[in-house]
Structure 1
Amino acid sequence: MGLIRGYDTETLQEIVDRTEAYERLAEVRSQRSFPAQLEQVWLLKVLGEMAEALDISEHTVRLARMSGTRKDLLHARILHASVNQLRGAYTSAETELTTCIEEAEGQGWPRIAALAYSHRGKTRYDAGDYNGARADFKRELFMRQELGADDTQLEQAMSFIEAAERRRSAIA
C-alpha cells in the first residue's frame, strides 16, 4: 500500500498519513470489487476502525469463498486475521494465519506465505511470544530474500526481527 510511511518500532504497525488514508477510504468505500473491499478493510484497520474492519473482512472472506480464487481467499483470511490480531484475538488470528501459511506453502505461493509469516509474527509479538515472532520474521526474511525482494522489504523484516529480539532480551 502506497500510504505506508513506515512501521512503529514498538508496535510494528503501519504508520500512515491519516488524512490521506481517510481520503482514500472515501474514494473506495462505494466500490464493490473484491480488491476495493480488501483495501477498505486495510484502511479501516490502520485507522483503528476495528468494528467496521471486522465486518467488511468477514464479508470479503465469504465473498472469496463463493466467487474468488484460492489466492483471493488466502489474502482475505490473512487480512481478517490481522484485524483479529489488533482486536486482541491472538489465538484466533494465529490459528488462521497458520492454516494460511500451510496452504500457501503447500500450493507453492511463497509471496503469500511470506505475508502470512509476517502477520503471524506480529500476532505472536503482540501476544508476548517473542521467540515465535522472531522465528516467523526470520522465515519471512528468508523467503523474501529467495524471492528477490527489494532492500526496503528486507530491512522491514530485519527491523521486525530486531524488535522481537529487544523484547525477548527485556524479559530474559
Structure 2
Amino acid sequence: MSYIHGYDPETLREVVDPAECRYRLAEIGPQRSLPALLERVWLLKVLGELDEALTISEQAVRVARMAGTRKDLLRARVLHATVQQYRGAFAAADQELSTCIEESDGQEWTSITAFALQHRGKTRYDAGDYEGARRDFKRLLSLRQEMNAPDDQIEAAMAAVEAVERRRPRSSAAVVAG
C-alpha cells in the first residue's frame, strides 16, 4: 500500500494522510529489521518528527552497513540524507546524495541512481539551487523513461521538472532586481 497520495506542486513534498502514517507506525512498532527501520524513518519524516527520524535513520545506516548489501546501504544513506534535507541541512544532504549517485552510477544500479537523483533534486530545490535541481530532475526523468518506470514515477519526475521551471524565472528576476 502506498501512503503517498501525490506531491505538493510547490514544495515537491509527499502528500500523505497523517492518520494512515501513524497507524502504520503503530503496526511496525519497535521492529529492528532494516525494512522496518527504513519504513519508520520515512513515516516519521513525512509526519515531521525529524529528531526521531534522524536517530532511526542513523541506526538504519549502521544496520545496513553491518548486515545489509551495498544496495541496502545506499538506500539507507539516501533516506538519511532526506531527513537531513527536511531539517534544513542542505549541504550535508547534497554531499551524501552526490556520493550515493556516484557509487550507484559506478555499479550501474539505475533504480538507486534515480532514487538518489530524485532526492538530490528536491534538496537543491529546497536550497534554492533551481539550476542544479533542474539538471537532476531532467536526468531523473530520462532514467525513469529508459527503465520503463511506472507512469506515476514518470509523472512525478515531469511534475518536478515543471515545478523547477516555474521557479527559475522568479530566481533570475530576483537576481536582476537585486
User: Do both proteins adopt the same fold according to a TM-score greater than 0.5, normalized to the shorter chain?
Assistant: yes
Deviations 1:103-122 (A, max 9, x none): 00100100000000000000
Count of equivalent residues: 172
SS in 2 for 1:12: coil
1:38 paired to 2:34 = no
The equivalent residue for 1:94 is 94
1:164 paired to 2:164 = yes
**CA separation in 2, counterparts of 1:115 and 1:166?**
23
SS in 2 for 1:148: coil
1:84 paired to 2:70 = no
Higher CA-based Rg: 2
The equivalent residue for 1:106 is 106
Report the Cα offset of residue 170 of structure 1.
Answer: 1.3
Identity of aligned residues (%): 63
1:62 paired to 2:52 = no
**CA separation in 2, counterparts of 1:65 and 1:152?**
31
Report the Cα offset of residue 171 of structure 1.
Answer: 1.8
The equivalent residue for 1:6 is 6
Unpaired stretches in structure 2, ≥5 consecutive residues: 173-178
- The runs of 4+ residues in structure 1 deviating greater than 6 Å are none
**CA separation in 1, counterparts of 2:87 and 2:29?**
22
**CA separation in 2, counterparts of 1:98 and 1:122?**
13
**CA separation in 2, counterparts of 1:101 and 1:169?**
28
The equivalent residue for 1:29 is 29
The equivalent residue for 1:151 is 151
Deviations 1:3-29 (A, max 9, x none): 000001111000001000000011112
Deviations 1:58-87 (A, max 9, x none): 000111111111000000000000000000
1:51 paired to 2:83 = no
The equivalent residue for 2:137 is 137
Kindly report the root-mean-square deviation, in angstroms, between the aligned alpha carbons of the 2 structures: 0.8
SS in 2 for 1:30: coil
* TM score, norm. by length of structure 2: 0.95
Unpaired stretches in structure 1, ≥5 consecutive residues: none
Q: What one-letter code is carried by the residue in structure 2 that aligns with 1:148?
A: N
1:75 paired to 2:75 = yes
* TM score, norm. by length of structure 1: 0.98
Q: What one-letter code is carried by the residue in structure 2 that aligns with 1:33?
A: S
